[in-house]
Amino acid sequence: MKSLFTALLVLAVPALSGAHPLGNFTTNRYAALSVEPQAVRVAYVVDLAELPAYREIEVVDMDGNGTIDAAERDAYTARQSAELARGLELTRDGVALPLAPTTSALELTPGAGGLKTLRLEVGYRAELPRPDGEIVFRDHNFAGRPGWQEIVASGADGLRLAGSTVPTTDVTRALRAYPESMLQAPLRVSEAHFTIAAGAGSPAPVPVPAGARSGAERFGDRFTALIADPAPLGPWTILTSLLIAAILGGLHAFTPGHGKTVVGAYLVGSRGTARHALLLGLVVTATHTLGVYLLGLGTLAASAWIVPERLFPWISVISGLLVVAVGASLATSRLRAAAGHHHHHHHGDHHHHDHEHDHHHHHEHDHDHGHAHLPPPGTPITIRSLVALGVSGGLLPCPSALVVMLGAIALGRVAFGLALIVGFSVGLASVLTAIGVVLVYARGLLERLPLDGRFARYAPVASALVISLAGIAVVVEALAQMGV
């Protein structure tokens, strides 16, 4: 019972892990420029969340023994300082100012799921021929990676910056304190322009002492905390952890995305049954689970080519295009069925008015003008479209689930981690299935309402268009993440 109580506390108490506030797959950058009479100094910081740090730590640990010694640390910081400098562009009046590394520091801190986050700080100095002119700074490193990107600039020793496009002070204390109000829309500043002028300089950013990163707790942190719990894996611990994983997966289904709109529009506009909703849930569960497994194994086996934070937007694009295709196919077939239904009613107006045909004509005339009940949608559900919809809903793995898998491998809890992912996927799919079942029965109530015949015919077409629009929204959001 003690382990049961402890596990349930995970839901009630915020997770205490140092999970990255911006998300498990973000690559965050920061540059602070300080302009002196004879030089421009740049304090550059790279803050890697758990998934990109997982791959990078393998690069740091050259002998692969799981421990980073001083020699490996120095070799890595020297190599990365030079590599990052090639991605930084600093010019004065269009003439390049070469950046030379002066200092470097590497910091590894505990993250979610037993993984670590990585922070690299590099100081650069560029010779300034004269304390005047237009300065342009651009950061080309990690282009297309999701995450925070911030630049600040200030003058020193009697210099001031005129017309600067960036502020003099930051909002994250050099990526150590992310503001909660901006986590959903992080800064994406990759360049700065200003002119050097004489006058009182602005205060340089206050140096930030080393320490733990701060920021708002994320929902996924509760899930990743399950794998990192140091408690022994007894039967009760495993059982309650699986239950909690399923509950968290169910709650996760209520967050934006995951195809709730698509599932609803599909089942309402088709001859869907509770059995179809159940099949849809099973496909989502299998796809979500297998997606996490394959991406995790790919990251382990081919870390130089499989980059999860780069793959996530592309998987979203594929998922969205699949939804668009399903919606377009349904819209076409339903429009054809609606047009055929309308033609059938029009033809009925020409029946002879004997006793039998007059009754038939009267029924169809009433149906077309809103005095009958809503008919069943004109297109039946196909297994192909149902599977395609389920695959699109479960195709994009949850980053927290991927962290759990990699953390389970790192902590030697592989079977437990894989089971947690299944539990999370089952919870996610159960909610989608329940929503589908509710909508199936709600459609039955809707069919009993006296509605206009044209609405009855074309409502399924409208629901198919909603599916396509939802898919387009997924694609647009994913492309925006990639900077397209």
* 283-to-56, 82, 96, 382 alpha-carbon distances in Å: 34, 48, 55, 14
In this prediction, residue 199 carries a pLDDT of 59
In this prediction, residue 456 carries a pLDDT of 53
User: Is the per-residue pLDDT at 6 higher than 50?
Assistant: no
Would you place residue 103 in the very low, low, confident or very high pLDDT band (cuts 50, 70, 90)? very high
In this prediction, residue 418 carries a pLDDT of 87
In a 10 Å sphere around its CB, with 0-12 CB exposed, 13-18 middle and 19+ buried, how is residue 87 labelled? Answer: middle
User: Is the per-residue pLDDT at 474 higher than 90?
Assistant: no
User: Is the per-residue pLDDT at 408 higher than 50?
Assistant: yes
Rounded distance between C-alpha atoms, residue 152 and residue 174, angstroms: 10
Q: Are 226 and 242 in contact (CB under 8 A)?
A: no
Q: Are 292 and 421 in contact (CB under 8 A)?
A: yes
Ranges 83-92, 234-243, 286-295, 318-327, most confident: 83-92
Alpha helices in 185-307 (DSSP H): 220-228, 235-252, 260-268, 274-301
User: Is the per-residue pLDDT at 129 higher than 70?
Assistant: yes
Would you place residue 122 in the very low, low, confident or very high pLDDT band (cuts 50, 70, 90)? very high
**351-376 core/surface letters (b: 16 or more CB in 10 A; e: else):** eeeeeeeeeebeebeebbeeebebee
Coil, strand or helix at 149 = strand
Ranges 233-242, 321-330, 461-470, most confident: 233-242
Q: Are 445 and 251 in contact (CB under 8 A)?
A: no
In this prediction, residue 139 carries a pLDDT of 97
Q: Which residue has the tokens 């498990």?
A: 24
In this prediction, residue 259 carries a pLDDT of 59
In this prediction, residue 447 carries a pLDDT of 56
Mean pLDDT of 342-348: 46
Would you place residue 285 in the very low, low, confident or very high pLDDT band (cuts 50, 70, 90)? confident
In this prediction, residue 4 carries a pLDDT of 45
pLDDT in tens, 203-224: 545 555 555 554 445 555 677 7
Alpha helices in 349-398 (DSSP H): 355-368, 383-394
**Residue 92 pairs with which residues in a beta bridge?**
95, 135
User: Is the per-residue pLDDT at 449 higher than 90?
Assistant: no
Coil, strand or helix at 9 = helix
User: Is the per-residue pLDDT at 168 higher than 90?
Assistant: yes
Task: Report the percentage of the chain scoring pLDDT > 70.
Answer: 70
Nearest to 179 by CA among 21, 414, 369, 18: 21
Rounded distance between C-alpha atoms, residue 139 and residue 459, angstroms: 50
Mean pLDDT of 30-58: 93
Rounded distance between C-alpha atoms, residue 195 and residue 11, angstroms: 53
In this prediction, residue 135 carries a pLDDT of 95
User: Is the per-residue pLDDT at 91 higher than 80?
Assistant: yes
User: Is the per-residue pLDDT at 104 higher than 90?
Assistant: yes
In this prediction, residue 320 carries a pLDDT of 79
* 207-to-203, 210, 270 alpha-carbon distances in Å: 12, 10, 61
| Position with higher pLDDT, 450 vs 284 | 284
Task: Report the percentage of the chain scoring pLDDT > 90.
Answer: 26
Mean pLDDT of 315-320: 79
Q: Are 22 and 215 in contact (CB under 8 A)?
A: yes
Q: Are 316 and 396 in contact (CB under 8 A)?
A: yes
Q: Are 296 and 54 in contact (CB under 8 A)?
A: no
Rounded distance between C-alpha atoms, residue 191 and residue 166, angstroms: 8
The single-letter DSSP state of residue 163 is: S
Q: Which residue has the tokens 């998987």?
A: 315
Mean pLDDT of 388-417: 78
In this prediction, residue 35 carries a pLDDT of 95
Mean pLDDT of 429-441: 80
User: Is the per-residue pLDDT at 349 higher than 50?
Assistant: no
The single-letter DSSP state of residue 401 is: H
User: Is the per-residue pLDDT at 451 higher than 60?
Assistant: no
Mean pLDDT of 37-51: 94
In this prediction, residue 363 carries a pLDDT of 43
Count other Cβ atoms within 10 Å, centred on residue 273.
15
Q: Are 280 and 287 in contact (CB under 8 A)?
A: no
pLDDT in tens, 146-167: 889 999 999 988 898 999 999 9
Count other Cβ atoms within 10 Å, centred on residue 328.
15
Nearest to 177 by CA among 21, 389, 307, 286: 21
In this prediction, residue 42 carries a pLDDT of 97
The single-letter DSSP state of residue 210 is: S
| Position with higher pLDDT, 383 vs 132 | 132
Rounded distance between C-alpha atoms, residue 418 and residue 132, angstroms: 60
In this prediction, residue 18 carries a pLDDT of 58
pLDDT in tens, 69-85: 999 999 999 999 999 99
Coil, strand or helix at 447 = coil
In this prediction, residue 206 carries a pLDDT of 52
**3-state per-residue secondary structure call for 60-114:** HCCCCCCCCCHHHHHHHHHHHHHHHHHCEEEEECCEECCCEEEEEEEEEEECHHH
Ranges 37-46, 108-117, 200-209, most confident: 37-46
* Beta pairing, strands 27-35 & 149-155: parallel
Would you place residue 284 in the very low, low, confident or very high pLDDT band (cuts 50, 70, 90)? confident
In this prediction, residue 70 carries a pLDDT of 93
| Average pLDDT value for the chain | 76
In this prediction, residue 31 carries a pLDDT of 97
Would you place residue 351 in the very low, low, confident or very high pLDDT band (cuts 50, 70, 90)? very low
For residue 204, the one-letter residue type is A
